[in-house]
């Protein structure tokens, strides 16, 4: 079983790291190529592509220009957005981190598919960006079948067919275009009670995705059915609103 999560725009390259054996991303050459091409984009172009401020665009121009010399950090500890707040990697013990290395994957616009301990350099490049080198019009098109094929290989190495989709739609698109043959995909959605009934809370859902990824690692889950026991932060499995492909968890 492999759980997929999205990366984050917010990064942390300053907090202390536990003693870990880092790994090299599978698509490290592709990441270097994309960064090299992105370094040729102007500040104005980055503003338009990423819908960011002039100040933030200038910052990312510098990032890509100096990418090859930038510091590296394991992906699970470099990303610091809502998903990773829920994951709380710094409080996991070493066996749980080891389990994450085998059973959690991070989708990335720049790096394609990351293991938690893969070393990454600071970047910002969403998978939904309408830019890519060559003839492709988007990053999803540029990655083509590479990410899905790599995921399929890793499932085969495990002897598993189960994918737990905890990624956003933007990042899942990279897998949807090349879903591994024979894969069983379970997409998880998180809802909560609101004044007018059930509602989707983006912030809470992102945190919950990280919490579920953590739950898988803490409990060393290899059986998809065991995920129905997830109860962090008041969530509970809603059998009536779920089917074989999509499971709903509700926070009351």
Q: Which SS3 state, helix, strand or coil, does residue 50 take?
A: helix
Q: What pTM was computed for the model?
A: 0.95
For residue 99 the two structure tokens come to 């389990």
Q: Look up tokens 């990773």; give the residue.
A: 84
In tens, the pLDDT along 144-180 reads 999 999 999 999 999 999 999 999 999 999 999 999 9
Interval 79-96: pLDDT, tens: 999 999 999 999 999 999
DSSP string, 58-104: HHHHHHHHTGGGS--EEHHHHB-SHHHHHH-GGGS-HHHHHHHHHHE
Alpha carbon separation from 72 to 14, 68, 111 (Å, rounded) = 11, 10, 13
Sign, CA torsion 242/251/224/211: positive
The secondary structure element, H or E, covering residue 185 is strand 184-194
Neighbouring CB atoms inside 10 A of 26's CB total 20
- Measured distance CA(98)–CA(104) in Å, rounded: 10
Residues of the chain above pLDDT 70, percent: 100
């Amino acid at each position: 079983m492999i759980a997929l999560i999205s990366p984050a725009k917010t990064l942390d390259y300053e907090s202390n790291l536990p003693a870990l054996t880092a790994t090299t991303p599978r698509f490290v050459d592709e990441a270097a190529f994309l960064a090299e091409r992105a370094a040729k984009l102007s500040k104005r172009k980055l503003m338009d592509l990423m819908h960011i401020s002039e100040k933030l665009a200038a910052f990312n121009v510098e990032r890509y220009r100096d990418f090859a010399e930038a510091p590296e950090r394991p992906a699970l500890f470099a990303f610091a957005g809502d998903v990773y707040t829920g994951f709380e990697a710094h409080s996991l013990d070493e066996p749980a981190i080891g389990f994450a290395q085998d059973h959690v994957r991070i989708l990335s616009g720049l790096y394609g598919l990351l293991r938690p301990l893969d070393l990454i350099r600071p970047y910002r490049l969403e998978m939904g960006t309408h830019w890519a080198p060559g003839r492709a019009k988007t990053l999803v098109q540029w990655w083509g079948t590479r990410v899905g094929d790599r995921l399929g290989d890793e499932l085969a190495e495990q002897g598993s067919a189960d994918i737990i989709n905890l990624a956003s739609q933007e990042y899942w698109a990279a897998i949807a275009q090349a879903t591994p043959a024979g894969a069983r995909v379970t997409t998880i959605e998180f809802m909560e009670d609101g004044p007018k009934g059930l509602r989707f809370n983006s912030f809470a859902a992102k945190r919950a995705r990280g919490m579920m990824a953590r739950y898988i690692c803490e409990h060393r889950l290899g059986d998809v059915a065991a995920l129905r026991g997830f109860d962090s932060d008041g969530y509970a499995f809603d059998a009536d609103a779920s089917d074989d492909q999509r499971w709903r968890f509700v926070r009351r």
